[in-house]
Structure 1
Amino acid sequence: MRLVLADDEAMVRAGVRAILAADPDVEIVGEAANGRDAVELVRRHRPAVALLDIRMPELDGLGAANEIRRVAPETAVLIMTTFDEDDYVTRALHGGASGFLLKTGDPRELLLGVRAAAEGGAYLSPSVAHRVIRQLGGPRLQQEIAAREHVDALSDREREVLALVGAGLSNAEIARRLHVVEGTVKAYVSAVLGRLGVKNRVQAAILAYEAGLVPRGDA
């Protein structure tokens, strides 16, 4: 799993690097202290994952995420921060990020998040995930109706794939569940994202939840 790491604090980068070194499958191909350099490193190396601090000079993590989605859409973006305000989470997810990690969280979350993103999945720190689910659990009838209308346009198989994405399964896990090859799942996921008009799996998962495809216990 090739990865670009960006944080303007050298000590934080060293700490993250040390945690990632625990996973022999992770290779850091570039490090940056600002968002502009991070985008350039992604453009040059085309890593599986870009791990970005949310607050950096020149171009912050959210701006860098938008640029990376434009120049290297195959690269998954994970946002790191010491803050978990709703505005940051919302902006990160709407900007196409595949996950949101708190620097104050368990170091194991970092490894879980990187692996999930590299495998085509998504990851939210537990405290962030609870807040997102709590928001989705409120009285949002109009959103539910709109979500169901979007989902109704999908084929039966596409809805099945969307439900599994919403339950947090990676492409490989979905392939095993449906008894198909992983390439077929990737094609279905791409088709679903396009037909729903969403940027990534996180947004698709939220839509699946709002449409009632994902039981609350699986969210």
Structure 2
Amino acid sequence: MFSDKSCVNATLISGTKETCSFFIFEAAIHWAEEGHRVIYIAPKALQSPPLTHHDRSNPSTEAFKLMRFMYLPNYETLVEQLVDLHSFASLPNVLLVDDLDNYIEDPGVKDKREVHIARLCAILLDTMNACAVILKQNVHICVSISSECEKIYQLYFDKLWKIEEEDDGNIVKVKQVAACNAANKTYEYRKYGSENIILKQILYSQN
């Protein structure tokens, strides 16, 4: 039997909206190419990927069949889908949510911000935990925010990554936020032109 702690791998990425959208979209393609069934949720349709990874070919037809895109404009529509997700005919083992801030900052929600964040994160984890139990396998959640990564998120996400941009956005560093005395990993990318991004190096450091 799976437990809440062991079966849901939860990752949070913080950074600018455009760059986070790129990494969430790339994650969707990566997981689908690995044979995972993916649900990608965003407030609005992504007209075209903001960037293209230099060493990735176009997704295969098989990968696209494993991806389901859901464009949910507000908190209410998001929760409606999440509570029913475990009853879908094809259950996902990867859930990606781009721009979680859109749902956190929904003007229709009257709760205090921290309470609202806690409730939404709990719903996300409960949703995927239900899928994990039915599928009898570990599942993954990855969400992105463009606001500051508040401490409340650390209660729900076991992996935190912060995106920093330098040199007028031409250098993108994806930094792992690790616990005290733990090793940090940083992926350093460089943008070429307005469409291409290349991984230049992986750095390791100790807190």
TM-score by length of 2: 0.32
More RCO (CA 8 Å, sep 6+): 2
User: Which has a greater percent of helix?
Assistant: 1
